Amino acid sequence: MPALLTEFASGLKNFLERVGRLARFGLQLAALTPGGLLRVRPIIEQVYNTGALSLVIIMTCGLFVGMVLGLQGYEMLSRFGSEEYLGTAVALGMLKELGPVITALLFAGRAGTAIAAELGLMRATDQIAAMEIMAVDPMRRVVLPRFLGGVIAMPLLSAIFIVIGLFGAQLVGVQWFGIDQGSFWSQMRGAVELDDIGEGLIKGAVFGVACSLIAVYEGYHALPTAEGVGRATTRTVVNSAVVTLFLDYILTAIML
């Protein structure tokens, strides 16, 4: 029993240590951000890497999520004879929850892992050490643009996901099941407030910061071995998913 207890205690200590390091890393990045924003070139490259290259997967998934919401929502609402509320249901569900959360999960899987693997491999092949020897700050030169690129790209991806999802739901509801197009959109307009959209965008931005931070942290601190790089990418996905869902609950509780 005591052995178990000490193991638990050391596990907890490890966890707290990692959270503390992550927070310190985040503060370091935040301190560098104002200066880093002036160097536009590397940030554009990273917005391209994390955003433009994720576009296809985000749009495809958004379409399917919207379509499945349309299908499920129609099935449910038609029991009460109120199919025209489908637009409202899909819009609120997408804006407030599914849009930002699923985008964040996809973002972690598509862009987060790429960042973590890239940084981990740079660490493993001593590129980061080489930069330090040349008195080039790797935080500024390598880590910061990737972080900022993710932060910029994520809310935009989330908005695109939501819009595509709405059209997916419209495709199923209006084109296939024959809900009136006018009432689909007007019911949606009647129920969605500007605050709801703000909530979705805030969530997208917060998840963007969290997922990008985790990706650069795990990549930068990867063990310089093949296995270490692999573990860094795994951790990126797992931690991003957990943190996203945790933050989602907190943000929802605050903004409800």
Partner 1 sequence: MRPSRTIDISTGLFVMLGLAAILFLVTQITNREFTVNSTSYRLRADFENIGGLKAGAPVSMAGVTVGRVEDIQYDMKLLKAVVTLRLDGRYNEIPNDSDASIFTAGLLGGQYVGLSPGGSEEFYKDGDRIEFVQDAVVLENLISKYLFNSASKTEAAPAAAPESQE
Q: Is 142 in the site for partner 1 (CB under 8 A)?
A: no
Residue with token string 């109120």: 82
Q: Is 188 in the site for partner 1 (CB under 8 A)?
A: yes
Q: Is 71 in the site for partner 1 (CB under 8 A)?
A: no
Find the part of the chain contacting partner 1 (CB under 8 A) among 28-36, 148-156, 175-183, 248-256. Answer: 148-156
Residue of 197, 202, 223, 251 that binds partner 1 (CB under 8 A): 197
Given the complex with partner 1, which of 105 and 159 has the nearer CB atom?
159
Q: Is 194 in the site for partner 1 (CB under 8 A)?
A: yes
**What's the gap between Cα 60 and its chain centre?**
16
The CA dihedral of 141, 234, 96, 46, to the nearest 10 degrees, is 20
Given the complex with partner 1, which of 28 and 181 has the nearer CB atom?
181
Residue with token string 């919401």: 69
Both tokens assigned to 45: 């490259």
Q: Is 104 in the site for partner 1 (CB under 8 A)?
A: no
Question: CA Rg, the chain, in Å?
Answer: 21
CA distance 131 to 230: 23
CA distance 239 to 22: 12
Q: Is 95 in the site for partner 1 (CB under 8 A)?
A: yes
Contact between residue 99 and residue 207 where contact means Cβ atoms under 8 Å apart:
no
Cβ neighbors of 188 (< 8 A, separation 6 or more) are 87, 88, 90, 91, 166
Find the part of the chain contacting partner 1 (CB under 8 A) among 46-54, 128-136, 213-221, 225-233. Answer: 46-54
Find the part of the chain contacting partner 1 (CB under 8 A) among 20-28, 108-116, 138-146, 157-165. Answer: 157-165
Find the part of the chain contacting partner 1 (CB under 8 A) among 26-34, 159-167, 228-236, 246-254. Answer: 159-167
Q: Is 171 in the site for partner 1 (CB under 8 A)?
A: no
Q: Is 52 in the site for partner 1 (CB under 8 A)?
A: yes
Q: Is 45 in the site for partner 1 (CB under 8 A)?
A: yes
- Alpha helices per DSSP H over the chain: 2-36, 40-50, 55-77, 86-93, 99-107, 113-124, 127-133, 138, 144-170, 181-191, 194-220, 226-255
Smallest gap, in angstroms, from Cβ of residue 86 to partner 1? 14
Phi, psi at 46, each rounded to 5° = -75, -30
Find the part of the chain contacting partner 1 (CB under 8 A) among 45-53, 119-127, 172-180, 225-233. Answer: 45-53
Which residues would be at the binding site for partner 1 (CB under 8 A)?
44-45, 47-48, 51-52, 55, 91, 95, 153, 155-157, 159-160, 162-163, 166, 185, 188-190, 192-194, 197, 200-201
